[in-house]
Chains A and B, each alone.
Chain A
Amino acid sequence: MKRAFSILAVLTALLLIYSTYQALVVAPTERTMGDVQRIFYYHVPSAWTAFCLFFVNLIASLIYLARKNLKADALAVAAAEVGVVFCTIVLITGPIWARPVWGIWWTWDLRLTLTLVLWLIYVSYLVLRRFSDSSQTPKLAAVLAVFGALDVPLVYFSIWFFRTQHPQPVIGGGGSLDPRMLHAFLINLFAFSCFGAMVCWWRYRLELLHREVEEMESLESLRGVTQ
């Protein structure tokens, strides 16, 4: 298992180097926005990865609620945490891209706003996990994940309608893509997905290890008490 993980980690790193090369060098410069547009190759794949990870968290939470499977809960934590990391990057690269191109730091762009709300929901998820009693945390967190998932379509519609009433600039490559750009984009999409999966897997194993150590420590203290 460890050997496989190390190999995949190296492969993922190489893939990321290649995809970054594609993004920075191979892809042609965009006509209207210039080289700053290359942020797109990081911004959108990160968003995609974050949303996938949040989806994994939802499924893992549902499995936990249905089967009380603790491994599912461990996966839920891992997916949520790594998802928040990718989400943070989306929220940082978005404004960095918007500022030179459209002159504003923020806009109520659909994807960006949805990302912000998801970030808020999942940060609150992580805070709940940190602040609650360890015995019942999985159940409470899983319920919150379900609420978050129910919220997402409602958020989407409210932002969508708001934007039809108050037109806002659109961040993030509308319009047709040059085939070389599409190529670079897809490679980055694939690279970041693999990267997200790897980090999530690692975090999952960390969580399992953490729980194992906790269990052993409590057994240890019990042994100390009975002696």
Chain B
Amino acid sequence: MNAIKFLWAAYIATWLIHGLYIGSVARRYSRLRQRMKELRK
């Protein structure tokens, strides 16, 4: 049924957005940790 496409679209969109956000937080976190190590030397 066509309606099921909407269901999947909603669920996939949800996790796509969450994934992108968490990914960006993770990336910034590791970059800052790296910077911190450099500064501590």
Say yes or no: A96-B17 contact (C-beta < 8 A), given A203-B25, A206-B32, A209-B32: no
Distance in angstroms from B40 CB to nearest chain A CB is 8
Residue count of chain A within 8 Å CB distance of chain B: 34
Is A180 in the interface zone, CB < 8 Å from B?
Answer: no
- Counting chain A CB atoms within 10 Å of each CB, the highest count among B10, B11, B25, B28 belongs to B10
Distance in angstroms from B25 CB to nearest chain A CB is 6
- CB-CB contacts below 8 Å: B1-41 with A: 1-4, 6-7, 9-11, 13-14, 17-18, 21-22, 25, 28-29, 32-33, 35-36, 39
- CB-CB contacts below 8 Å: A81-137 with B: 82, 85, 88-89, 92-93, 96-97, 99-101
Main secondary structure, interface of B, reads helix
| Partner pick for A216 among B1, B2, B28, B36, CB 8 A cutoff | B36
B→A interface (CB under 8 Å) = 1-4, 6-7, 9-11, 13-14, 17-18, 21-22, 25, 28-29, 32-33, 35-36, 39
Main secondary structure, interface of A, reads helix
A208-224 interface bits toward B, Cβ cutoff 8 Å, 1 = contact, 0 = none:
01101100110010000
Is A35 in the interface zone, CB < 8 Å from B?
Answer: yes
Looking across the interface, which residue of chain B has its beta carbon closest to that of A219? B39
For the complex, what is the distance from the CA of A129 to the CA of B36, rounded to whole Å? 24
Residues of B within 8 A of A96 (CB): 6, 9-10, 13
6 contacts between A and B (CB under 8 A): A20-B11, A35-B1, A93-B13, A202-B29, A210-B32, A213-B39
- Assess the A99–B6 pair: CB atoms within 8 A: yes
Residues of A within 8 A of B35 (CB): 213, 217
- Assess the B14–A93 pair: CB atoms within 8 A: yes
Say yes or no: A85-B18 contact (C-beta < 8 A), given A34-B3, A36-B3, A209-B32: yes
A26-40 interface bits toward B, Cβ cutoff 8 Å, 1 = contact, 0 = none:
000000001110110
